[in-house]
Chains A and B, each alone.
Chain A
Amino acid sequence: MKGLIVKNMNRYLAIMNIWWQRGFTYRLSIFAYRVGEVFEMLVLILMWSRIFENQNVISGYTKEEVITYVLLGNLFSVIIRSFARDRISGDIYKGQLSSYLVKPMSYLTYVWIRDLGRAAFPTIFSILTGATVIFFFRDIVVLPTDPWLWLILIGMLLLAFVTEQLIGILIGFIAFWTDDTDAIYEVVARLKRFFSGAFFPIALLPTLFVTISFYLPFAYTFFVPAQLFLGKMTNAEAAHGLLIQLAWIIILQLLVMFVFRKGLRKYEGIGI
């Protein structure tokens, strides 16, 4: 497996390079989207600042901690986000998938390489803007010094990236069976945002919800890494989370392969 990756590295890099270029042609939209996101982030901070005018602590969070939570969480979620769904459902609807099926590279492999290239430009741009905003709040945000924490954090973000990709691919595959993937995507996206802690720290919810969300993969895209960063979670607890992420990745990967096979049978190249 490793040999295969090394041998094919040039091909993969070439594909990523091409999709990077294509991403670059959309720089205006990427800029616009990012402006919207930063705006949303600032509104949240404003809202929390107001809420904290009358109290110093809410459920164990100080005002500074909540603002750090919003800033870091946002940065994490843009690092790991996936663009796979759109491309895949587009390939299926337009019959473009057929032109990939006749090529000697597996479509599942190609999808990964393509999306790494595709996501590179918007992600780097998002990281830069996210870091800039954090810089403005540098008085509030305190960087942890524990190297183990950083290691676990980076590992968690990597695994979360893989998870997001797999979920995006799965949702994209729904296009094999229905014309209406947008609705399903919206529902899943809302659930994801809720259980990821993007709206507010999950710890504010009843214990049952908190427990459930720890066993779902979504919390590791925002809430858990942010908690770790804030020092509200021990390394041990976070490492436990890594195991749950790994389990989900295995499940999702198996699902992807299964659903793809089933979907291909249904796909009769009608788009052509």
Chain B
Amino acid sequence: MPAIELKNLTKQYRFYRKEPGLAGTIKALFFRKHELRHAVKDISLTIEPGELIGFLGPSGAGKTTTLKMLSGIVEPTSGSAKVLGYDPSKRQPEYKSRFAIVMGQKDQLIPQLPALEGFRLVQALYNIPEKTFMENRDELIDLLDARDFVDIQVRKLSLGQRMKCELIAALLHKPEVLFLDEPTIGLDVVAQKNVREFIKRYNQKHKTTIILTSHYMEDIEELCKRVVIINKGSVIYDGQLSDLIKKHAPYKVLKVTFTGAVTREQVEPFGEIVEFQPYAVTLRVPREQAAKHAAKLLNAGLPVDDLLIDEVEVDEVIRKIFNDQN
């Protein structure tokens, strides 16, 4: 049985336009023209238990709104969502005890108190028995390497430390489903890596179903085999990340460095030049013929120092997809 099922899920928002200036303000008191905006349009998805999937898309694509509908924070305009068999919009306590959502910096923790106290608050809210609470808490603190700062006032922590504490707070009740909304946003490179490592390990260990939204390509690359690309409220791709690259990037990249300077004319026969410098060249070659081209180049008598056959940057692929859409 799937853990999460979305069927034609749609959310429309009503919003008002206001004309600029004082006249506009006065006019707005009496006449307000409202428009409808589709934040989420007809999304259908099935997610199996234990999957770690990524929602990728630009800001305003509808990723967060979808998560909010799955959490019961926002009611869908039409369509249905089912998580663990529950309808989230009913907001049943039994459902709430089985999932968790982490949204940016929305504090579960009290800024003026240490995270440990905040964890106690979470324990009280979820009614977690003492022994289970201690075990979960200690496991999470160790996994996230947070022992050094869980007893310091939360508002004195760095963003990365805060995020770790938020993650601990979210997982204390061992949810079966976890929604992570932009978990690495604003974090430095090291913190981002730590958070990604943790999510991966946690998913492997506890088989938690995880939906992760991000507009950072690295998050998706590192963590998700399956990616759902959302743009303007609709799903434009749902499948394996590797297939996405194969389908939309039918080429690979040869990165070559030389011990002696080469000319453009010398490397042109082996592929489309993407970058050229006398001692380092990047070539684009058709995917299936990458090895052949590489072999030809190596046998051409050029002063090759090192040759790397690499995948196209996923960023580029995604950008291409969005550009094609527009």
Task: Mark A residues whose CB is within 8 Å of B.
Answer: 8, 10-12, 14-15, 18, 21-22, 25-26, 95-96, 98-99, 101-105, 110, 265, 268-269, 272
Q: Which residue of B lies closest to A113 (CB)?
A: B124
Asked if B117 and A18 sit within 8 Å, CB to CB, the answer is: yes
Q: Roughly how many angstroms separate A12 CA and B13 CA in the complex, as a whole number?
A: 37
CA distance A8 to B93 in the complex (A): 15
Can you list 14 A-B pairs, Cβ within 8 angstroms, ordered by A?
A18-B118, A21-B117, A25-B112, A25-B113, A99-B108, A102-B71, A102-B73, A102-B101, A104-B96, A104-B126, A110-B125, A268-B74, A269-B68, A272-B64
Decide yes or no: A96 and B107 within 8 Å by CB, A14-B124, A22-B112 being known contacts: yes
Where chain B touches its partner, the secondary structure class is mixed
Using A102-B73, A102-B100, A104-B94 as known contacts, list a sample of 14 further A-B pairs with CB atoms less than 8 Å apart, ordered by residue number in A.
A11-B127, A14-B120, A18-B117, A18-B118, A25-B112, A98-B73, A98-B106, A99-B103, A101-B73, A102-B72, A103-B126, A104-B97, A110-B125, A272-B64
CA–CA, A268 and B126, complex, Å = 24
Q: Which chain B positions have C-beta within 8 A of A14?
A: 120-121, 123-124
Could you tell me the distance between the alpha carbons of A22 and B154 in the complex, rounded to whole angstroms?
Answer: 12
**B93 neighbours in A (Cβ, 8 Å):** 104-105
Residues of chain A within 8 A (CB-CB) of B71 are 98, 101-102
Decide yes or no whether B206 CB sits under 8 A from chain A: no
8 A Cβ contacts from B191-239 to A: none
Q: Does B320 contact A (CB under 8 A)?
A: no
Interface residues of B (CB under 8 A from A): 13, 64, 68, 71-75, 91, 93-94, 96-97, 99-101, 103-104, 106-108, 110, 112-113, 117-118, 120-121, 123-127
Q: How far is the CB of B300 from chain A (nearest CB, A)?
A: 57
Q: Do A98 and B91 have beta carbons less than 8 Å apart?
A: no
B110 close to A22 (CB less than 8 A): yes
- Are A99 and B110 within 8 A (Cβ)? no
When chains A and B are docked, how far (Å) is the Cα of A149 from the Cα of B118?
43
Q: Is the CB of A15 within 8 A of B124?
A: yes
With CB as the reference atom, state the residue of chain B lying closest to A16.
Answer: B124
A-B interface pairs (CB < 8 A), number: 75
Contacting residues, chain B, for A268 (C-beta < 8 A): 13, 74
With a cutoff of 8 Å between Cβ atoms, the chain A residues found around residue B113 in the complex are 18, 21-22, 25
* Complex alpha-carbon distance, A268 and B74, angstroms: 6
**Which residue of chain A lies nearest to B117 when distances are taken between CB atoms in the complex?**
A18
A101 touches B91 (CB 8 A): yes
Q: Provide the bound-state CA to CA distance between A11 and B104, in Å.
A: 27
Could you say which of B75, B96, B124 contacts A102, with CB atoms under 8 Å apart? B96
CB of A156, distance to nearest CB on chain B (Å)? 32
Cross-chain contact B106 with A99 (CB below 8 angstroms) = yes
In the bound complex, residues from chain B placing their C-beta under 8 Å from that of A98 are 68, 71, 73, 103, 106
Point out which of B71, B118, B125 has the most chain A C-beta atoms below 10 A from its C-beta.
Answer: B125
Chain B hits for A96, CB < 8 A: 106-107
B289 CB, min distance to chain A CBs, angstroms: 48
A8 to B127, CA, bound (A): 8
B39's nearest neighbour on chain A, judged by CB, is A268
Contacts of A265 in B (CB 8 A): 75
| B39 CB, nearest partner CB in chain A, Å | 9
Task: Determine whether the beta carbon of A269 is less than 8 Å from that of B126.
Answer: no
Nearest Cβ on chain B to A83's Cβ, whole angstroms: 15
Residue on A nearest B126 in the bound complex, by CB: A104
Report whether B96 and A18 are in contact in the complex, using a CB–CB cutoff of 8 Å. no
Min distance, Cβ B323 to any Cβ of chain A, angstroms? 29
Bound-state CA distance A105–B127 (Å) is: 9
With a CB–CB cut-off of 8 A, which chain A residues contact B126?
Answer: 103-104
The CA of A128 and the CA of B108, in the complex, are separated in Å by 33
Q: Smallest CB-CB separation from A270: which chain B residue?
A: B13
Contacts of A110 in B (CB 8 A): 125
How far is it, in angstroms, between the C-alpha of A11 and the C-alpha of B73 when the chains are bound?
Answer: 24
A99–B72 alpha-carbon span in the complex (Å): 11
B121 touches A15 (CB 8 A): yes
B75 cross-chain contacts in A, Cβ below 8 A: 265
Inside 8 A of A102's CB, which chain B residues have their CB?
A: 71-73, 96, 99-101
Nearest opposing residue in chain A for B11, CB measure: A268
A82 to B96 Cα, complex, angstroms: 29
Report the minimum CB–CB distance from B158 to chain A (whole Å): 20
Partner of B103, one of A104, A105, A272: A272
In Å, the complex CA distance between A105 and B120 comes to 14
Bound-state CA distance A81–B94 (Å) is 35
Complex CA gap A49/B13 in Å reads: 62
